[in-house]
Amino acid sequence: LVMALMLAGLRGIDEEIWKAARLDGIPTWRVYLSVVLPMMGPTLATVFTLLATGVVKVFDTVVAMTQGGPGTASDVPAKFIMDHLFGRANLALASAGAVMLLLTVLA
């Protein structure tokens, strides 16, 4: 899904912009940095929102399959919050993690 959205965003950039950049002699990396990335802003925001939502929803899969192990290899934000809230009784760190997760989802 992410690749399809990014490809659609790239195809949405007018061919005339690419031709004008080549005609002006602008290096390819500069075209991507100064023209393509700003024009793909809405696409990037959509992709980021979808991925952030997916990270929030993956908690049950991680717990069911790995219980968060080995170590913290498959730790996701929701599992981090649950571990620190219930497993370690660290309310402050769990609250900070929850606020960061909320800010990520709302952004």
The region, left, alpha or beta by phi > 0 then psi within -120 to 50, assigned to residue 34 is alpha
Model pTM score: 0.61
pLDDT digits (tens, 9 = 90+) for 56-101: 777 777 777 887 678 777 778 888 888 888 888 889 999 999 998 8
SS3 for 51-94, per residue?
A: HHHHHHHCHHHHHHHHCCCCCCCCCCHHHHHHHHHHHCCCHHHH
Number of residues in the chain: 107
Tokens describing residue 35: 């023209």
Tokens describing residue 41: 């802003």
pLDDT grade, residue 41 (50/70/90)?
very high
Residue 70: phi and psi, rounded to 5, are -70, 135
CB distance 87 to 63 below 8 Å: no
What percent of the chain is predicted at pLDDT more than 70? 97
